[in-house]
Amino acid sequence: MTDQKLEQIVGNLLRTGVTAAAAVVLAGGAWYVTTAGAGIADYRRFRPETAGLHSVFALPGPQMVILLGLLLLIITPVARVAFALVAFALERDWAYVGITLAVLAVLLYSIGVG
Amino acid sequence: MNVLEFSGVVFAVSATAGCLGSLTGLGGGVIITPVLTLLLGVDLHFAMGATLVSVIATSSGAAAAYVREGFSNVRVGMFLEIATTAGALTGAHLVSAVPVSALAIIFGTVLLYSAWQSMKAPPRDKEPRPDPLAARLKLNGVYPGRQGMIAYGVSRVKTGFGLMFGAGLLSGLLGIGSGAMKVIAMDQVMRVPFKVSTTTSNFMIGVTAAASAGVYLRRGYINAGLAMPVMLGVLCGSLAGARMLMGARVLVLRRLFALVIGALAVEMIYSSLTGGFR
C-alpha cells in the first residue's frame, strides 16, 4: 500500500467518524435545548458533572447523548493512529510500527487510566 | 442569558475559532478559551474542557480534508507524537496542582512568544542543513504546490522532538492543542514548509488532546451543555477553513497566524495582571 492510498483511507475514516459524532451531538443538543433551552446558562462556578467514563451513563438523557457523541469524536484520532499502525505493518515498515505502537499505548493508557 | 441564546453565541464564536484554527494549525483553543472565560464568564476548568473538545473537532474536521489532498506528513506527525503525548500526559496530571492565574500568565507568555516568532519567516536564503536522521526516519516528503508536487527535507530532528515534548506539556496543562508551539517547531526549527507544518500540527493536536480526554472526563471539565455548541460550531468552521487553506498564500497564512496569537497574548496577560481571573 502506498502512502497516498493510505492517506485517502485515513481521510475517509476521519470523515465517517466526525460525521457520526456530529450527528449524535446534534441529536443530543436538540434534545437538550428543547428541555433546558429556557433555563439560565450559568457556568461561573465549577460543578463537575462527570467523574470518569462510567459516570457518563448516570447523566440526564440529553447530556448523556451529547457526551456519547463527544466520546465518538475523541475516539476518531485514536482510530486514526490504530489504522496507521495497521498500514505501517502492511508496508513492513517496522520502525514506524514501533513508533505508532508507542503512541497508541500512551493514548490508550491515558484514556483508560487517566 | 438563557441556554438557547448562550448556545447560539458559543456556536458562532466556535465556528470562527474552528475556521481560524484549521487555517493556522492552532486548533481554535486560543480563541475559545479567552472568549469563554473573559467575555462569557465561564469557569476556566469548564472552558478548558470545551477547548479540548474544540481542538479534537478542529483536528478531525480539518484533517479529513487535508489528508486526502496530501498536505500533512503522517510520518512526521507520528514520530513527533511520541514526544507530545508523553508531554500531554505529564501536563494533564500536573494541572490540578497549578493555580489558575499562573496558568493564564503562562498561556499569555507562550502566545506572545509565538506571535513574535512567527512574524518573521525563517531565513530561506541559506539552504538548511538536511538532517541525516530525517532521511533514516523517512521524514522527508512532498506536498502539492501550484505546479505539481514539491519535495522538501526536514532539519534538526532532535531539537524539534524536544520542543514537541514542551508543546505536549502545555497542551495537558492548558487544555489547548498548543498548535502554536508545534507549528513554530516544525516551521522555524525543522524547516518544514508552512502549509505542511500547519496541517501536520492539525493532525497532531487531535491525538495529543485525545490523550488528555480521559483525565478531563474524570475531573468533570467536560460539560455537555457547553461542549455541544463548541463542538458543532468548530466542526463547521474547520471544514470551511480547510477549504480556504488549499489556495491561500503562505504569507497571508503566516500573518494571520501571528495576528491571532499576538492579539490573544496581550489580552490574556492583561487580564491576568489586572486580576481578571478568579
Instruction: Please state, in angstroms and rounded to a whole number, the distance separating the CA atoms of residues B86 and A77.
Output: 16
Cβ-defined contact of A52 to B206 (cutoff 8 Å) = no
List the single range of B119-123, B130-134, B144-148, B192-196 with lowest mean pLDDT. B119-123
Which residue of chain A is at minimal alpha-carbon distance from B65?
A11
Instruction: Please state, in angstroms and rounded to a whole number, the distance separating the CA atoms of residues B32 and B63.
Output: 20
Amino acid, single-letter form, for residue A24: V
Cβ-defined contact of A33 to B211 (cutoff 8 Å) = no
The answer to whether residue A34 neighbours chain B at the CB level (below 8 Å) is no
List the single range of B74-78, B177-181, B182-186, B238-242 with lowest mean pLDDT. B177-181
Instruction: Please state, in angstroms and rounded to a whole number, the distance separating the CA atoms of residues B157 and B137.
Output: 10
Query: For residues B50 and B125, which has the higher predicted lDDT (pLDDT)?
Result: B50
On average, the pLDDT of chain A sits at 84
The answer to whether residue B57 neighbours chain A at the CB level (below 8 Å) is yes
pLDDT of residue A2: 64
Cβ-defined contact of B85 to A103 (cutoff 8 Å) = yes
Residue B127's pLDDT band, with cuts at 50, 70 and 90, is: low
The answer to whether residue A31 neighbours chain B at the CB level (below 8 Å) is no
Residue B15's pLDDT band, with cuts at 50, 70 and 90, is: very high
Instruction: Please state, in angstroms and rounded to a whole number, the distance separating the CA atoms of residues B47 and B41.
Output: 9
Chain A residues close to B41, C-beta within 8 Å: 43-44
Which residue of chain A is at minimal alpha-carbon distance from B225?
A63
Cβ-defined contact of A77 to B59 (cutoff 8 Å) = yes
pLDDT in tens, chain A (114 residues): 566 677 677 778 888 888 999 999 999 999 998 888 777 878 888 888 777 777 778 788 888 999 999 999 988 888 888 888 888 898 888 999 999 999 888 888 877 764
DSSP 8-state symbol, A56:
G
Residue B225 vs residues A44, A62, B8, B38, B211: alpha-carbon distances, Å: 13, 9, 12, 19, 22
The mean pLDDT value for B167-174 works out to: 72
pLDDT in tens, A44-61: 888 887 777 777 787 888
pLDDT higher than threshold 60 for residue B85 = yes
Residues 199-218 of B with CB under 8 A from A: 203, 206-207, 209-215, 217-218
Which residue of chain A is at minimal alpha-carbon distance from B233?
A22
pLDDT of residue B10: 93
Cβ-defined contact of B68 to A52 (cutoff 8 Å) = no
The angle that helices B74-94 and A61-90 make with each other, rounded to 10 degrees, is: 140
Which of B85, B93, B212, B221 should one mutate to test binding to chain A, selecting the residue with the greatest count of A CBs within 10 A? B85
Residue B81 vs residues B108, B163, B205: alpha-carbon distances, Å: 24, 11, 9
The mean pLDDT value for B39-65 works out to: 85
**For residue A55, what is its C-alpha cell?**
459516570
Cβ-defined contact of B3 to A39 (cutoff 8 Å) = yes
| pTM value surpassing 0.80 | yes
Cβ-defined contact of A111 to B46 (cutoff 8 Å) = no
Which residue of chain B is at minimal alpha-carbon distance from A85?
B78
CB pairs under 8 A between A and B: 201
List the single range of B156-160, B206-210, B220-224 with lowest mean pLDDT. B206-210
pLDDT higher than threshold 70 for residue B149 = yes
pLDDT of residue B275: 63
Instruction: Please state, in angstroms and rounded to a whole number, the distance separating the CA atoms of residues B276 and B249.
Output: 37
For A107, the enclosing helix (H) or strand (E) is helix A94-112
Query: For residues B247 and B239, which has the higher predicted lDDT (pLDDT)?
Result: B239
Q: Is the interface score ipTM higher than 0.90?
A: no
Three-state helix/strand/coil letters over chain B: CEHHHHHHHHHHHHHHHHHHHHHHCCCCHHHHHHHHHHHCCCCHHHHHHHHHHHHHHHHHHHHHHHHHHCCCCHHHHHHHHHHHHHHHHHHHHHHHHCCHHHHHHHHHHHHHHHHHHHHCCCCCCCCCCCCHHHHHCCCCEEEEECCEEEEECCCCHHHHHHHHHHHHHHHHHHCCCCHHHHHHHHHHHCCCCHHHHHHHHHHHHHHHHHHHHHHHHHHCCCCHHHHHHHHHHHHHHHHHHHHHHHHCCHHHHHHHHHHHHHHHHHHHHHHHHCCCCC
% of chain B at pLDDT higher than 70: 85
Residue A1 vs residues A9, A80, A92, B105: alpha-carbon distances, Å: 11, 16, 10, 47
Domain ranges of chain B: 3-273
Residues 125-144 of B with CB under 8 A from A: 137-138
